Chains A and B, each alone.
Chain A
Amino acid sequence: MTEEIIIAGFGGQGVLSMGKILAYSGIMQDQEVSWMPSYGPEMRGGTANVTVILSDNRISSPVLKKFDTAIILNQQSMDKFEADLKPGGTLLYDPNGITRHPERKDINIFKIPGAALATEMGNPKTFNMIIMGGFLKVKPIVKIENVQKGLEKSLPERHHKLIPLNIEAIQKGIENVETVISL
């Protein structure tokens, strides 16, 4: 199994840390992983994206042009990455702020109201884990217990008290993902 994922949105949405937790979860189930951020003179409010690969085999290129899954969290990223999905791939997006919804017919499309759910949960920082839950519902490539272990490994000890809230957010995401197109 090899899963090539792009996660893209605004800086501050937790794009990079979501990728990191996903990668750590892969390590917890003995997979090879890579995490390659877009790198440049970035700023808050600018776009941020990260390529995450989980594989049972040695990973070739950490830099990719075609993806199995795109997790898209703003309009700029939709414009940039919708075309980069492989045919039959999976696009998961948050419709918040999206003015042009995905148009391709040869991919699976799911949506999740991550920003709205995070507001509902009373903590905007749960946003990325809600999205993560939505992703794991449509692509269960890592087990929730391994995500829990990944959180334990990737968060400093002083933040471990936040893990139950993160798991709750993941559950929220699992429950609220909607199918737009399923091939």
Chain B
Amino acid sequence: MGDIRLMKGNEVIAEAAIRCGCDGYFGYPITPQSEIMETLMIRRPEQETGMVVVQAESEVAAINMVYGGASCGKKVMTSSSSPGISLKAEGITYLAGAELPALLVNIVRGGPGLGTIQPAQSDYFQAVKGGGHGDYKLIVLAPASVQEMNDFVDLSFELSFKYLNPAMILSDGVIGQMMEKVELSDFKPRWTAEEIEKISGSWATTGKKKGIKRRISTSLDLDSAKQEVFNHKLQAKYRAMEENEVRFEKIDCDDADYLFVAYGSSARICQKAIEIARAKGIKVGLLRPITLFPYPTKQIQEMLGQVKGILSVEMSAGQMVEDVRLAVEGKVPVEHFGRYGGIIPTPDEVVEALEQNFLGE
């Protein structure tokens, strides 16, 4: 067995970054995710692995430091919470436009505006539908446990370098602030420039040497024809992600008459709701999207012959439910249940919503 600890989700993000060979973290503090940078500052990874940790002067500076590090082929990351991610949105679309790998972590808090510091899932649209301008997509992973906070750091970097596209861990104050048992990953050495080239090709701007073509890291092309060709390339990449990278978990779906669709902390609450509902004789299961982009559209469609109704449970006013409805195409009723503004739904409330919507109670 590996290194087993009791840790907060936020602390685990930091520890996992050090252990997976991350080269640099650039951030600016904001509740409820400040423990990420705090943990890194306490751990002093520059003395251990050489990983650089910088508190930037602002979110805008931090994301542009990420752009700089990523351009050089480094494994770099930033983290923030909702308002901070909005500030980073310009840099994020530039990363996507320049086809640069990076890990972005959003520990979501209630909005809009400065909102509250309590947990929410109201940044789903921002994460999967854009957030910044232009036709781009992020790879979005939604951990539902502290263990997955550990596992998805390495996975995000892996996918990010595979597709040369920024990846986001979309979590919230529940998973960030709670402690659970976690088995930490083993230490991996930081990649050398040669290893990065082997893994993801010759693109990093590491200094033009004799006999090597000049490399440019940019998202600007004033020639529309070329820009369209480039957009086709991006779209092909997103289709490949949809083909190959969908991740999901099904719980108690085999005999289910009804289905919850929920991600992250809401998925945990739904698991308890399943226990309560099944004790009352209501056969309900859970489909938990792990990747929010690419979305498990096909996996939801596969349930359509079986279930009589789908309840999308989110800590938002109804965002992911739109993707559920796109998948379902009106074939079965799809309803939404959510609490927002920092309120966490209780499992009993979820069961009540299921009964009210589908069982006429």
Contact = CB atoms under 8 A, between A and B. Distances in A.
Given A27-B6, A33-B6, A60 B275 contact: yes
B269 interface: yes
Size band of the A side of the interface? Answer: 20 to 34
B117 A36 contact: no
B177 A32 contact: no
Contacts of A34: 178-180
A51 to B, nearest CB: 9
A99 interface: no
Nearest to B350: A61
B41 interface: no
Of B117, B181, B273, the most chain A CB neighbours within 10 A belong to B181
Interface string A50-77: 0000000001111111100000000000
Contacts of B342: 40
B265 interface: yes
Contacts of A35: 6, 178-180
A110 interface: no
Size band of the B side of the interface? Answer: 20 to 34
Contacts of A154: 6
Contact of B269 (A27, A41, A63): A63
Given A41-B117, A154-B6, A61 B177 contact: no
A51 B265 CA distance: 15
Contacts of A32: 180-181
B272 A24 contact: no
Contacts, number: 74
Interface of A: 20, 23-24, 27, 32-37, 39-41, 59-66, 153-154
B222 interface: no
Of A63, A66, A153, the most chain B CB neighbours within 10 A belong to A63
Interface of B: 4, 6, 32, 117-119, 173-174, 177-181, 265, 268-275, 342, 344, 346-348
B268 A60 contact: yes
Given A23-B6, A35-B6, A41-B117, A61 B272 contact: yes
Given A34-B180, A35-B6, 9 more contacts: A32-B180, A33-B180, A40-B118, A61-B347, A62-B174, A63-B269, A63-B347, A64-B346, A65-B348
Nearest to A2: B275
A65 B343 CA distance: 13
A183 to B, nearest CB: 21
Given A61-B272, A63-B344, A64-B347, A36 B178 contact: yes
12 contacts: A20-B6, A33-B179, A34-B178, A34-B179, A36-B179, A39-B117, A60-B272, A61-B269, A61-B271, A63-B265, A63-B268, A65-B348
A29 to B, nearest CB: 12
Contacts of B272: 60-61, 64
Given A41-B117, A61-B269, A33 B181 contact: yes
Contacts of A37: 177-178
A63 B6 contact: no
A173 to B, nearest CB: 22
Nearest to A153: B6
A110 B265 CA distance: 34
A60 B271 contact: yes
Contacts of B117: 39-41
A32 B112 CA distance: 35
A-B interface, 5 closest residue pairs, ranked by CB to CB distance from nearest: A60-B271, A61-B272, A35-B179, A65-B346, A60-B272
A60 B32 CA distance: 22
A59 B173 CA distance: 18
Given A60-B271, A63-B265, A27 B181 contact: yes
A156 to B, nearest CB: 12
Contacts of B181: 27, 32-33
B344 to A, nearest CB: 5
Contacts of A36: 174, 177-179
A63 B180 contact: no
